[in-house]
Chains A and B, each alone.
Chain A
Amino acid sequence: MNFLFDSEEVPIQAGDTVASALYRSGRRIFSRSFKYHRPRGLLCCSGKCPNCLVNVDGSPSVRSCVTPALDGMRVRHQNAWPSLENDALSIGQHFDFLMPAGWYYKVFTKPATWHRVEPHIRKAAGLGELFENPQGIPEYEHAWMHAETAVIGGGPAGIQSALDAAERGEQVVLIDDQTELGGHLRYRKQRGADPRERIDALAARANVTLLQRASCFGIYEGNLLGVLLGHPHAGAAERLIHLRAQRIIVATGAYETPLLFDNNDVVGVMLSSAVQRLIHLHSIVPGRRAVIVAHGSEGDEVGADLKQAGVEVVEILAPSEIIAVRGSGEVKGVKSRRGDFACDLVIVCGPRVPDAGLLSQAGAKLQWSDVPGAFVPVGLPLNVSAVGDVTGETPVAAAQHFPDSKRAFVCICVDATSRDLKQGIADGFEEIETLKRYTTATMGPCQGRMCQLNAIQVCSRLTSRSMDETGTTTSRPPNPGVTLGALAGAKHHPIRRTPMHHAHAELGAVWLDMGEWKRPRYYQVAGAGGEAESVAAEYRAVRERAGLIDVGTLGKLIVRGKDAARLLDKVYTSRFSDLRQGRVRYAVMCDDTGVILDDGTVSRLADDRFFVTTTTGNLDFVHQWFDWWLVASGWDVSVTNVTGGLASVNLAGPKARDVLRKLTDLDLDPKAFPYMACREAQTFGVPAILMRIGFVGETGWEIHYPAEHGEEVWNAILVAGAEFGILPFGVEAQRLLRLEKRHVIVGVDTDALTNPFEADMAWVVKLDKEDFIGKAALARAASGGGVREKLVGFVMEGGVPEDGAPVVIGGIPVGRVTSSRYSPHRKAGIGLAFVPPELAAEGAPVRVRVRGQLRTAIVTMQPFYDAEGARLR
């Protein structure tokens, strides 16, 4: 088993991470630093530092030290050119005096300069890049879980808490980000008994779920945990789990952080816990000669481990004794107050910081405590508790040494040194939160884990304030970072399809997305040109012969009960109590201020049964609006949404009657079935509601029938219409046809402030009704109050303005075009536009800006096509 690192094959042993396999193969430089491109090697070996970021199978900035090595992986270095060993941009560190803290605020003070240099800075300082992965884009998924107790952290404290909760009979989820449970006991053998037995006891319990190789990246409102699980199964790279827990126990432990001295970032300087991991988890001999930097006897533990692994321990130095590490690429030795020592490893026993980020996200405060010498969480919210090292129960050796140096790196993510922090404070940013933003210390990929304590201590000393006065920076989710693909989840964009979807596809439908719905925009007939030709052919079919359109996305409601008419009278501006059975009426709905909310049709199927249609996008709103006004009414009405259950088509055109006659026994004579009438009848043997309405301006029927017969009846109509030259038509032809009739589309030709008087629909408002929603405001509008503008039609010779084009008077926009098209009937541009009320007069000229040029359009208050409506009837 092996994987490819750049072009070199790296063998894998059982239990290897990408980093451990690389280290065993002799690799020491893993990355280049962000700003100065200094070589960087393994530092923490636990996924907490930024040093081992690589590109794995196309995903950039992957932490190689916690990523299991898999056979056939393709791993690449990042942020170095041409190679990790020789990076041309490392020359930058010799010009560090040109780039002090906040240098681009000081240098690039003119926008023009900044825009010129920004791309180059991004290229030099960016972390990782995307490249095509030959295996394709990995798949991600989401899942939801619920637990009574969620324990975060699988170390000794977490294991014990999970066991206790499990024994109380609770449903427990334990989250751990390592390959195996056990926490620090896995590699700090002298710290406690092997937890194997307790781990086995935990795994054996039916009420415990173990999420391993899973990191909890955030605590959100309502005890919601964000958990990222690696490789949940062969088909997915990562799974994002939304875990809702009644109780949360945080057992995230403490992690080791670096010490400050010159060249503390050189390859070969490693935290003691990192080297213990290499030795005990991966059986790696980390080097030949080591110098340990530690307080008092703290170095003894790692010293013993190193000796056992066969590494010579040259010297143990106190933090105050070390002056600098020698070596530019890799460690060559140490310069100290006790002399110089040659070595290839410098092992740092740094302060262990309680990993309390999740607790502070949950609402806890972090308070400095001299014993143990750490910020510890206090004031935990209800149902969140902390156990183990995260509480600060293990003392941390304090008394650090803080040299003022431009080679003592506080933040290794962005190369911010102790000198940079000093400079930032001198520039006036002495608050830790502003110092963070100015120097970007703690803002790198490690999200402050490695540098927060050092940054606060440096700031505290330089400003002569206590640690508590200095305070901490803020931990925000996600921490650690989350792959964007995982947040996006599975590629399941919900799609709503009408019952004739597949028939449209076969007819060559080119789709238009309307919310989640798919509608045919037009039908692309092979060899028939593009959209313009298709739409023109569909238009002609409707005007001259017959056309058929799927209107299944219309909202459809059945309103039943003896008070049904009462409800409709209340929510719509027109009157429906006097609507006779078998008749249809146009319906407009307004809010209390008279603004148009929706329009549609109301058909009376029986005394106590109405069929209501709404616009495609407003169905759910209208349904809720009905329910809202019913709640306290005590009326006998029930409203049922039947949208998905009905296939709906509009058959229109001069030959529509001839087509329909072949499919139904119903008397279609205009006297027996007049305009604005509705019938329930068998159509092609299927029960249907037929309504004679005319959105497109021709004789036509809207037909609603059970969805399970959707394609069957659709196809039957097309077959029946073939002899008359019927064509299916799409949304684009429909919009043109309705515009010629000057029919308004709510939401397109009206906006969030339009009332019916402004939309030139005064006739739908029945102010003599006892009461309806919006009556008071509409009564005011009827007498001219609050009419800001009016919707008018216009005809423009020799051009078509774009939708949204401004209407202009004296150089000032005073209105706008809402819809416009070229009208084949008028052989001119036509459209609808909002204009000031005084311009809403037949024949008035208005100026419209068309592609930068002002052109004259003539206002009309009449339909552009068949003004008398003879063709409809």
Chain B
Amino acid sequence: MKRSALHHHHQKAGALWTQLDGWELPASFGAVEQEVAQAREGVGVADISYFRKFESAAPQTGSWKLASNRHLVMRERPVAPPDGTLDITSVYAALLLAGPQTNELLRKLTSLNLSHFANGNCAQASLAHAHAILIREDLDRLLSYKVLVTRDYAESVWESILHAGREFHIAPFGLNALDRLRP
């Protein structure tokens, strides 16, 4: 079974597990309604490390440009690596932050200027002392970011996010809540 770098954190937080495409993932942390409400009204965070990631030198359909010769493709479900790409799913842990207070939270973790960071933008910045890729993709009209850090930093960054988010009562949410938040 594939486990994300945050497996032990989820276990301690009381995750109820489910399986998807060979991954063991938190379906919820016991209170789907609360998880959804917290993300809708404040800010919530989910571990979406299972998203497939591919890197290629040339741009691909729907890819994010990281550098002139580096492009990132993200797909939620398993697909064959597009031509010329390298599967880097394992390299990055991926988090999904969602909620109206997400910017306030991120301002405590990164110096990136978020005031001009529009929906559909992608940037790289230091976040909680780790190099991170930030992609803003709102869930319908709910402010949301995907944050990618290399797997070795995942626990450190996750802990920093939860600590910085205490003032917003941040809570992790599972796949069930994620499905509910999606348009």
Task: Name the segment of B32-40, B73-81, B155-163, B173-181 touching the other chain.
Answer: B155-163
Q: What residues of A have a CB within 8 angstroms of the CB of B112 in the complex? A: 144
Contact in complex: B153, A496 (CB < 8 Å): yes
Cβ distance B59 to chain A, nearest Cβ, rounded Å: 13
Contact in complex: A497, B115 (CB < 8 Å): no
The 5 A-B residue pairs with the shortest CB-CB distance, nearest first, are: A645-B91, A645-B90, A644-B150, A494-B129, A708-B2
User: Given A146-B113, A494-B128, A497-B5, is A560 in contact with B163 using a C-beta cutoff of 8 Å?
Assistant: no
Q: How far is the CA of A234 from the CA of B3 in the complex (A)?
A: 36
Q: Which residue of B lies closest to A224 (CB)?
A: B111
Q: How far is the CA of A235 from the CA of B108 in the complex (A)?
A: 14
Q: What residues of B have a CB within 8 angstroms of the CB of A640 in the complex? A: 55, 86, 88
Q: Which residue of A lies closest to B93 (CB)?
A: A644
Interface membership of A89, Cβ < 8 A: no
Contact in complex: A707, B166 (CB < 8 Å): no
Q: How far is the CA of A145 from the CA of B109 in the complex (A)?
A: 11
Interface membership of B27, Cβ < 8 A: no
Contact in complex: B92, A143 (CB < 8 Å): no
Q: How far is the CA of A869 from the CA of B110 in the complex (A)?
A: 51
Counted as pairs of residues, one from A and one from B, with CB atoms less than 8 Å apart, the total is: 108
Contact in complex: A642, B88 (CB < 8 Å): yes
Interface membership of B139, Cβ < 8 A: no
Contact in complex: A492, B128 (CB < 8 Å): yes
Q: How far is the CA of A824 from the CA of B176 in the complex (A)?
A: 57
Interface membership of B122, Cβ < 8 A: no
Interface membership of A502, Cβ < 8 A: yes
Contact in complex: A706, B90 (CB < 8 Å): yes
Q: How far is the CA of A93 from the CA of B96 in the complex (A)?
A: 65
Contact in complex: A644, B152 (CB < 8 Å): yes
Q: How far is the CA of A712 from the CA of B163 in the complex (A)?
A: 29
Q: What residues of B have a CB within 8 angstroms of the CB of A232 in the complex? A: 167
Contact in complex: B115, A171 (CB < 8 Å): yes
Contact in complex: A144, B90 (CB < 8 Å): no
Q: What residues of A have a CB within 8 angstroms of the CB of B4 in the complex? A: 708
Q: How far is the CA of A638 from the CA of B156 in the complex (A)?
A: 29
User: Given A234-B167, A235-B167, is A708 in contact with B23 using a C-beta cutoff of 8 Å?
Assistant: yes
Interface membership of A646, Cβ < 8 A: yes
Interface membership of A498, Cβ < 8 A: yes
Q: How far is the CA of A560 from the CA of B156 in the complex (A)?
A: 31
Q: What residues of A have a CB within 8 angstroms of the CB of B113 in the complex? A: 146, 244
Q: What residues of A have a CB within 8 angstroms of the CB of B61 in the complex? A: none
A496-551 interface (Cβ within 8 A of B)? 496-499, 501-502, 517
Q: What residues of A have a CB within 8 angstroms of the CB of B142 in the complex? A: none
Cβ distance B57 to chain A, nearest Cβ, rounded Å: 5
Interface membership of A577, Cβ < 8 A: no
Contact of B1 among A141, A706, A712 (CB under 8 A): A712
Q: How far is the CA of A236 from the CA of B167 in the complex (A)?
A: 9
Interface membership of A233, Cβ < 8 A: yes
B123-154 interface (Cβ within 8 A of A)? 128-130, 150-154
User: Given A492-B156, A640-B55, is A144 in contact with B86 using a C-beta cutoff of 8 Å?
Assistant: no
Q: Which residue of B lies closest to A517 (CB)?
A: B152
User: Given A143-B108, A242-B111, A711-B3, is A492 in contact with B23 using a C-beta cutoff of 8 Å?
Assistant: no
Contact of A708 among B3, B86, B88 (CB under 8 A): B3
Cβ distance B110 to chain A, nearest Cβ, rounded Å: 7
Q: Which residue, of A236, A552, A645, has the highest number of chain B Cβ atoms within 10 A?
A: A645
Q: Which residue of B lies closest to A707 (CB)?
A: B90
Cβ distance A191 to chain B, nearest Cβ, rounded Å: 36
Q: How far is the CA of A498 from the CA of B86 in the complex (A)?
A: 22
Cβ distance A519 to chain B, nearest Cβ, rounded Å: 12
Interface membership of A666, Cβ < 8 A: no
Cβ distance B171 to chain A, nearest Cβ, rounded Å: 15
Cβ distance B124 to chain A, nearest Cβ, rounded Å: 13
Cβ distance B82 to chain A, nearest Cβ, rounded Å: 14
Cβ distance A31 to chain B, nearest Cβ, rounded Å: 34
Q: How far is the CA of A710 from the CA of B93 in the complex (A)?
A: 14
Cβ distance B53 to chain A, nearest Cβ, rounded Å: 9
Interface size class of A (residues with CB under 8 A): 35 or more
Contact of B163 among A146, A492, A708 (CB under 8 A): A492
Interface membership of A809, Cβ < 8 A: no
Q: How far is the CA of A144 from the CA of B90 in the complex (A)?
A: 31
Q: List 13 A-B contacts (CB under 8 A).
A: A244-B111, A494-B130, A502-B8, A552-B152, A560-B86, A641-B150, A642-B88, A643-B150, A645-B89, A645-B90, A708-B49, A708-B90, A711-B3
Residues of chain B touching chain A, judged by Cβ–Cβ distance below 8 Å, are: 1-5, 8, 23, 49, 55-57, 69-70, 86, 88-93, 107-108, 110-115, 128-130, 150-156, 159-160, 163-164, 166-167
Interface membership of A142, Cβ < 8 A: yes
Q: How far is the CA of A494 from the CA of B163 in the complex (A)?
A: 13
Cβ distance B127 to chain A, nearest Cβ, rounded Å: 10
User: Given A144-B107, A708-B4, is A643 in contact with B167 using a C-beta cutoff of 8 Å?
Assistant: no
Contact in complex: B115, A141 (CB < 8 Å): no
Interface membership of A490, Cβ < 8 A: yes
Q: How far is the CA of A560 from the CA of B69 in the complex (A)?
A: 13
Interface membership of A112, Cβ < 8 A: no
Q: What residues of A have a CB within 8 angstroms of the CB of B110 in the complex? A: 144
Q: What residues of B have a CB within 8 angstroms of the CB of A645 in the complex? A: 88-92, 150-151
Q: What residues of A have a CB within 8 angstroms of the CB of B5 in the complex? A: 497, 499, 707
Q: What residues of A have a CB within 8 angstroms of the CB of B114 in the complex? A: 146
Cβ distance B93 to chain A, nearest Cβ, rounded Å: 8
Q: Which residue of B lies closest to A141 (CB)?
A: B108
Interface membership of A332, Cβ < 8 A: no
Q: How far is the CA of A644 from the CA of B131 in the complex (A)?
A: 12
Contact in complex: B152, A643 (CB < 8 Å): yes
Q: How far is the CA of A147 from the CA of B159 in the complex (A)?
A: 29
Interface membership of A716, Cβ < 8 A: no
Q: Which residue, of A171, A640, A646, has the highest number of chain B Cβ atoms within 10 A?
A: A640
Cβ distance A649 to chain B, nearest Cβ, rounded Å: 15
Interface membership of A558, Cβ < 8 A: yes
Contact in complex: B163, A144 (CB < 8 Å): no
Q: Which residue of B lies closest to A637 (CB)?
A: B57
Contact in complex: B152, A235 (CB < 8 Å): no
Contact of B160 among A236, A490, A498 (CB under 8 A): A490
Q: What residues of B have a CB within 8 angstroms of the CB of A242 in the complex? A: 111
Contact in complex: A495, B156 (CB < 8 Å): yes
Q: What residues of A have a CB within 8 angstroms of the CB of B23 in the complex? A: 708
Q: What residues of A have a CB within 8 angstroms of the CB of B3 in the complex? A: 708-712
Q: What residues of A have a CB within 8 angstroms of the CB of B88 in the complex? A: 640, 642, 645
Cβ distance A26 to chain B, nearest Cβ, rounded Å: 38
Q: How far is the CA of A236 from the CA of B5 in the complex (A)?
A: 29
Q: How far is the CA of A492 from the CA of B158 in the complex (A)?
A: 11
Contact of A141 among B49, B111, B156, B164 (CB under 8 A): B164
Q: Which residue of B lies closest to A503 (CB)?
A: B8
Q: What residues of A have a CB within 8 angstroms of the CB of B167 in the complex? A: 232-236
Indicate with 1 or 0, residue by residue over A559-591, a CB within 8 angstroms of chain B CB atoms. Answer: 010000000000000000000000000000000
Contact of B151 among A235, A499, A517, A709 (CB under 8 A): A499
Q: What residues of B have a CB within 8 angstroms of the CB of A708 in the complex? A: 2-4, 23, 49, 90
Contact in complex: B91, A494 (CB < 8 Å): no
Cβ distance B95 to chain A, nearest Cβ, rounded Å: 14
Q: Which residue of B lies closest to A171 (CB)?
A: B115
Cβ distance A355 to chain B, nearest Cβ, rounded Å: 28
Q: Which residue of B lies closest to A552 (CB)?
A: B152
Q: What residues of A have a CB within 8 angstroms of the CB of B86 in the complex? A: 558, 560, 638, 640
